[in-house]
Amino acid sequence: MVKLLVLWIIIGVVVGYLKIRQSRQLGFNRKIEVATLTYFIIGVVLWPLILFYIFRERKTHREAYLRSQMTRTELDEELDELEKELDKLGKHNNRLMG
């Protein structure tokens, strides 16, 4: 029974670390302090639930990223046109200088 409890806690700490790492990658840079330590301990105890959240958030953010890559906005089109104009001006200036 003690081995099972120790294994549960070790897995919980690893899953907690993975969740903190994932949160930091998504822009949440909150550090573990005494006030937030209780949440970390609860996460260690309930690690199967945290593991579910990790995979769900990963899937959600991946889908949002893919959707954003597929959707072109008017601003993207305007920026592409401006970039083409700047390239034309750069080529024109190079011909005049060289």
Q: Does residue 81 belong to any structural domain of this protein?
A: no
Residue at 88 is within a domain: no
The whole-angstrom separation of Cα 14 and Cα 51 is 10
Kindly state the tokens that stand for 87: 């390239």
Name residues whose C-beta falls within 8 Å of residue 86's C-beta, 6 or more positions apart in sequence: none
Name the pTM for this structure: 0.55
Domain range for residue 47?
2-72
Ordered mean pLDDT values, 10 residues apiece, the chain (98 residues): 89 84 76 74 82 86 80 77 86 69
Name the token pair of 56: 């769900």
Q: How many domains does the structure of the chain reveal? A: 1
